[in-house]
Amino acid sequence: MESKVGKWIGRLILLALILMAVSLLALSLGPAHVPLSKIFHPQGIESIILFKIRLPRIILGLVVGAALAVAGVIFQGMFRNPLVEPYTLGVSGGAALGVSLSVIAGFRILPLAGFLGALGAISLVYFIARRQGILKISMLLLTGVMISFIASAIILLIMSLAQEHQLHGILFWIMGSLEETNPSLIKLVSLIILIAIAISFLFSRVLNVLSLGEEEALHLGVNIERTKRTLFILGSLMAGVAVSVSGIIGFVGLLVPHFMRLLVGPDHRILLPTSCLAGGIFLVLSDTIARTVISPLELPVGVITGILGGSLFIYFLTKRTLKLGK
């Protein structure tokens, strides 16, 4: 037991070091290069670039990446399905619909619109999937997928009717970006996500039990309805908050949990915290690539997470056999 915990702590320290290194790298790189030596004593314009532009973006990348990865761990665990990701349950569809509607209506506060959209979709899914106080996992999944389809159909309808500048606004949001400059919004989002992650961690052992199956979990004395409800709310909240500030950044929530399962194994007590760190690392790294590779122009970060994450994942998949459902 002690040796296992020791190994876990080792992995966490390693990831924390990588996280710091990646953050420093992200601080240093960009259209205006700030050498690492100057990061700790920036002057004048450099100080503004570092603390007003890059640092907020890095913090947002860390918390959004962490939120998506942890939500992925929670949903894959409770649905016992390796293909589930935070967006599967309609969070992204709802958020995108909310944003599209408000772009058309000229409503300016897009994060709020996105969050309300996500909240609407998730509540709909929840109440449809709930029967006589029982949350049916298969119903949740199917309803979520259907709500997502309906949402994207309506978004297409809106886009076909929209004017060009509105269309651009919608597309830009859907592609996802970490460019958010409002410091109080970043603080609020970080606070919500950190609290949600901390609570999720308390459920990590219960997630192990739940991943055996619902009946098995009942036999082991777990109150599964309360647990499923709480986990569903936590995961959706994290995904919803992340989506509403950063748009739809794909692959983080699907791939990071799988990567970490390869690295640390399936025990959620270590899978969840390592995924949290790795999600942040992965997103900040992807974002740094996205904004430097054709500098001064920027690529959508979702393009990088998709290409980088997908190909790395296939590489590891062929290296080691990973079980994706039997």
The residues binding another protein (CB under 8 A) are 1, 5, 80-82, 202-205, 208-209, 211-213, 215-216, 218-223, 261, 265-267, 269, 323-326
Nearest residue (CB) to another protein, 130 versus 269: 269
CB of 259 to another protein, least distance (A): 13
Residue by residue, DSSP assigns 146-169 as: HHHHHHHHHHHHHHHHS-HHHHHH
What count of other Cβ atoms lies within 10 Å of the Cβ of residue 167? Answer: 17
CB of 255 to another protein, least distance (A): 15
Tokens of 12: 């966490």
Nearest residue (CB) to another protein, 106 versus 221: 221
Distance in angstroms (rounded) separating the CA atoms of residues 300 and 293: 11
Torsion of CA 217, 232, 129, 113, to 10 degrees: 180
Nearest residue (CB) to another protein, 105 versus 202: 202
CB of 258 to another protein, least distance (A): 9
CB of 326 to another protein, least distance (A): 6
**C-alpha triplet 180, 183, 185: angle, nearest 5°:** 75
Tokens of 72: 């992925």
Nearest residue (CB) to another protein, 108 versus 131: 131
CB of 215 to another protein, least distance (A): 6
With contact defined as beta carbons under 8 Å apart, do 201 and 8 qualify?
no
Burial of 145 (0-12, 13-18, 19+ CB in 10 A): middle
Nearest residue (CB) to another protein, 197 versus 222: 222
Nearest residue (CB) to another protein, 5 versus 191: 5
CB of 283 to another protein, least distance (A): 23
CB of 282 to another protein, least distance (A): 20
Nearest residue (CB) to another protein, 228 versus 261: 261
Tokens of 59: 């913090």
Residue by residue, DSSP assigns 26-95 as: HHH-SSS---HHHHTS--HHHHHIIIIIIHHHHHHHHHHHHHHHHHHHHHHHHHT-TT--TTTTSHHHHH
